[in-house]
């Protein structure tokens, strides 16, 4: 048996997303509260049935905790589990739980809640990410503080998924109104949700672990980037969690009142292609689209050179990363030749896009580049997350779209033909399945090969890696260097 018993970091750094909002030092001036600004508000507070990163961004780590969590370096460390053991065949996980943990409704957290949470994810969750739980065969309660999970086969993805929203722990007495009343074991609970404006988190006095420094944290939501930056400039916000447009950066650089933190994320900004549409089922058309887009110029236009070209669904923080940005270099002449071969000249594609600054700015550049090779892309702004999730993600009603995928290690979505891009490639499916079963270098080799196949086949056009650009009042401490998880973890934040 291999044993993992790392010391639990009291406030692990988090990351990943879309965009944020609210204010303090410059804003409230109250040392016990912070205000953070966002541009994408959750449609509900139930991430078991509603997709989108905006929900776990607020709730994961802050309100809900899992058995394990992501460390700042992207590794896996203990959370509600004090330690765990893995059998030699990599199918059996035995977790030793921290004692004296309670949910925000006063219920004790025990191994029974682990069994309930995992089995509920298998049976009742409706979001696609829960499919990773299909590999769980049995969950056995050994004692109130010990639980054993048996997998039907080895799975590298399973333990990693337990660091995400899929691994959140629930109590049977706290799941009746998840869309408005989250009940978790985390250091905060939801004190107020004013729809269209803000979500306020209140520090729990009875939290089992180390108390966060800040008593209340307000997540505020803004319709556009100008409103977001104006709120920061006028002192209504303490932090902008992620600038949505590079030009906003100039307003804060060189001013001692503010700090600007630039780091990386694992948020791949993708030009999603619907393979169920006749034109886009032709590889030559997809390759033409890839060759038509000048990705270096796009990144310069949208992010003033911030961010990174990667050419795949793999960020540099993953061990199987390889720069594939030159697989289909910018070549308009080649794009036109491919369209002629495919008899797809004068092609018109519908292009619904989230009404978020990075997505709209990116879409306009893509539209211009495609127009140069004879493709008309008809942009349709959609309210995000509600309308985009319903029409594009769930309804598959689109030809192309732009979206940031911020879930970690999400390349296996291309192994699911029912996922919103409708991609069906048996070679990719086999490689990803084998990678999940394999260990060590073999896993890395299979994942890297799958990434290359996806790039060559233009399963999507992998445009760039979203930069992390945080702006904060100079007195705010504990902000992340990079964002590598779904959560915007506020537990390390304080004000000097």
Q: Is pLDDT of 406 > 90?
A: no
CA distance linking residue 99 with residue 111, whole number of Å:
10
CATH 3.40.50.2020 fits 188-257+474-495, yes or no: no
pLDDT by residue (tens digit) across 46-84? 999 998 889 999 999 999 999 999 987 778 999 999 999
* pLDDT, tens only, 418-445: 999 999 999 999 999 999 999 889 999 9
Domain residue ranges in the chain? 64-167, 188-257+474-495, 265-466
What pLDDT is attached to residue 363?
98
Average per-residue pLDDT for the chain: 92
Exposed, middle or buried: residue 124 (CB in 10 Å: 0-12, 13-18, 19+)?
exposed
pLDDT, tens digit (0-9, with 9 covering 90-100), for 377-403: 999 999 998 999 999 999 999 999 999
Burial of 277 (0-12, 13-18, 19+ CB in 10 A): middle
* pLDDT tens profile 290-340: 999 999 999 999 999 899 999 999 999 899 999 999 999 999 999 999 999
Instruction: Give the other-Cβ count within 10 Å of 205's Cβ.
Output: 7
Could you identify the residue written with the tokens 């211009």? 368
Backbone torsions φ then ψ of 230, nearest 5 degrees? -65, -40
CB 469, CB 306: distance < 8 Å: yes
From residue 103, give the alpha-carbon distance in Å to each of 65, 108, 175, 233.
Answer: 10, 6, 12, 38
Alpha-carbon distance of 197 to 206, in angstroms, equals 28
The answer on pLDDT for 22 being more than 90 is no
Q: What is the pLDDT of residue 30?
A: 57
Question: Would you state the CATH architecture of domain 265-466?
Answer: Roll (3.10)
Residues 117-144 have pLDDT tens digits of: 999 999 999 998 899 999 999 999 999 9
The radius of gyration of the chain from alpha carbons, rounded to an integer in Å, stands at 22
Please check whether residue 420 is in contact with residue 87, taking contact to mean a CB–CB distance below 8 angstroms. Answer: no
| Helix, strand or coil, per DSSP, at residue 386 | helix
Determine contact, residues 202/191, Cβ cutoff 8 Å.
yes
Q: What is the pLDDT of residue 439?
A: 81
- Asked whether the beta carbons of 75 and 9 are under 8 A apart, the reply is no
The fold of the 64-167 domain, in CATH, is Dipeptide-binding Protein; domain 1 (3.90.76)
């Amino acid at each position: 048996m291999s044993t993992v018993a790392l010391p639990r970091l009291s406030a692990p750094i988090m990351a990943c997303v879309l965009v944020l909002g609210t204010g303090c030092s410059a804003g409230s001036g109250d040392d016990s509260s912070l205000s953070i600004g966002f541009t994408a508000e959750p449609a509900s507070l139930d991430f078991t049935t509603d997709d989108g990163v905006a929900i776990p961004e607020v709730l994961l780590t802050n309100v809900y905790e899992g058995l394990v969590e992501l460390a700042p370096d992207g590794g896996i460390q203990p959370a509600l589990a004090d330690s765990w053991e893995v059998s030699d065949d990599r199918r059996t996980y035995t977790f030793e739980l921290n004692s004296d943990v309670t949910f925000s409704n006063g219920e004790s957290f025990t191994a029974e809640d682990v069994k309930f949470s995992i089995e509920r994810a298998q049976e009742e969750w409706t979001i696609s990410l829960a499919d990773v739980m299909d590999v769980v065969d049995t969950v056995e309660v050994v004692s109130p503080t010990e639980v054993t999970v048996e997998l039907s086969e080895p799975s590298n993805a399973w333990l990693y998924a337990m660091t995400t929203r899929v691994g959140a722990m629930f109590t049977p007495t706290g799941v009746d109104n998840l869309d408005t009343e989250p009940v978790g074991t985390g250091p905060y609970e939801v004190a107020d949700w004013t729809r269209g404006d803000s979500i306020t988190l209140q520090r729990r006095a009875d939290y089992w672990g180390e108390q966060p420094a800040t008593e209340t944290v307000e997540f505020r939501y803004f319709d556009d980037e100008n409103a977001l930056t104006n709120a920061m400039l006028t002192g209504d916000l303490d932090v902008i969690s992620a600038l949505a447009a590079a030009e906003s950066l100039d307003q804060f650089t060189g001013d001692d009142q503010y700090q600007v933190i630039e780091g990386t994320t694992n948020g791949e900004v993708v030009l999603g292609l619907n393979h169920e549409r006749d034109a886009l089922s032709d590889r030559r058309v997809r390759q033409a689209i890839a060759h038509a887009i000048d990705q270096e110029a796009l990144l310069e236009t949208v992010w003033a050179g911030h961010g990174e070209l990667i050419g795949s669904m793999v960020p540099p923080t993953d061990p199987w990363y390889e720069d594939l940005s030159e697989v289909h270099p910018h070549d308009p002449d080649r794009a036109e030749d491919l369209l002629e071969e495919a008899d797809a000249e004068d092609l018109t594609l519908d292009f619904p896009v989230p009404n978020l600054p990075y997505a709209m700015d990116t879409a306009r550049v893509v539209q211009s580049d495609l127009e140069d090779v004879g493709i008309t892309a008809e942009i349709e702004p959609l309210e995000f997350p509600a309308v985009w999730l319903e029409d594009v993600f769930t309804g598959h009603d689109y030809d192309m779209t732009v979206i940031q995928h911020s879930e970690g290690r999400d390349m296996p979505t291309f192994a699911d033909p029912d996922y919103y891009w409708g991609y069906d490639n048996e070679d990719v499916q086999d490689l990803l399945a084998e990678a999940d079963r394999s260990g060590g270098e073999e896993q890395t080799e299979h994942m890297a090969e799958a990434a290359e196949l996806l790039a060559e086949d233009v399963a999507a056009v992998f445009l760039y890696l979203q930069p992390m650009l945080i702006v904060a009042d100079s007195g705010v401490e504990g902000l992340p260097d990079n964002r590598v998880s779904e959560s915007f973890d506020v537990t390390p934040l304080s004000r000097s």
